[in-house]
Structure 1
Amino acid sequence: MAVFAVHYVYSDATAPVRDVHRPEHRAWLNALVDEGTVLTSGPYPDGSGALILVQGDSLEAVTKLFENDPFARENLLADKRIVEWLPTMGAFVS
């Protein structure tokens, strides 16, 4: 299974609505952590976005999965980029 980096970009304009949907967003992510799909997740300290590392079969499968994120469903992302990532050392090397 490949590892993918999901990069979220936030805008200041959506911050109040993200706060409303953050509990559902985090519950959704935690369910994916529990099943082993999400390896780790967290926001950037400056509030500009977040990074989520995911195991998946393909870029298409991960892209489809992340359409279900409450932040995506509510159009709260200024941008999203999903790329396959090849860890060569450390915690995420298989």
Structure 2
Amino acid sequence: MTVFAVEYVFAPDSTEARDKHRPAHREWLSGLSGEGKLLTSGPYADGAGALLIFSASDETELNEILKQDPYAGAQAIAGIRTTEWTPVIGLLSGYNA
């Protein structure tokens, strides 16, 4: 499995949509965490976006997962940046070895 860092940039004026869909978004994230696909996630302190760390076989699988996010359906995400990531020190080091 490959580890990916995913950065969400929230759409301007999406606070109401995110508030409305947050319970479903977090339930979706919890399910992925239970499956071992989501390693950790959380919003940025300034509210502009979030960082999510996933484990997936490849970027195609990751993109299919991300399409299912309730925030995506609510058009609360203005941009997504995905980067293959190799953790070498810390809790996730050696995860994709």
Structure-2-length-normalised TM-score: 0.92
- Counterpart CA distance in 1 for 2:11 and 2:2 is 29
Larger proportion of helix: 1
Structure 2, gaps ≥5 residues long: none
Aligned Cα RMSD in Å?
0.9
Q: Which moved more, 1:8-17 or 1:32-41?
A: 8-17
> What is the deviation of 1:30?
0.4
Q: Which amino acid aligns with 1:60?
A: T
- Counterpart CA distance in 2 for 1:58 and 1:12 is 30
Q: Identify the residue that residue 22 of structure 1 maps to in structure 2.
A: 22
Q: List per-residue Cα deviations over 1:8-61 (Å, max 9, x = no partner).
A: 001341111110000000000000011111000000000010000000100111
Q: Identify the residue that residue 88 of structure 2 maps to in structure 1.
A: 88
Q: Which moved more, 1:72-81 or 1:42-51?
A: 72-81
Q: Identify the residue that residue 31 of structure 1 maps to in structure 2.
A: 31
Question: Is 1:6 aligned to 2:19, yes or no?
Answer: no
Q: Identify the residue that residue 78 of structure 2 maps to in structure 1.
A: 78
Q: Which moved more, 1:44-53 or 1:79-88?
A: 79-88
Identity of aligned residues (%): 41
Question: Is 1:46 aligned to 2:46, yes or no?
Answer: yes
Q: Is the contact between residue 38 and residue 52 of structure 2 (CA under 8 Å) also seen in structure 1?
A: yes
The ranges of structure 1 where at least 4 consecutive aligned residues each deviate by more than 2 angstroms after the TM superposition are none
Structure 1, gaps ≥5 residues long: none
Structure-1-length-normalised TM-score: 0.95
Q: Is the contact between residue 63 and residue 82 of structure 1 (CA under 8 Å) also seen in structure 2?
A: no
How many positions carry a matched residue from both structures? Answer: 94
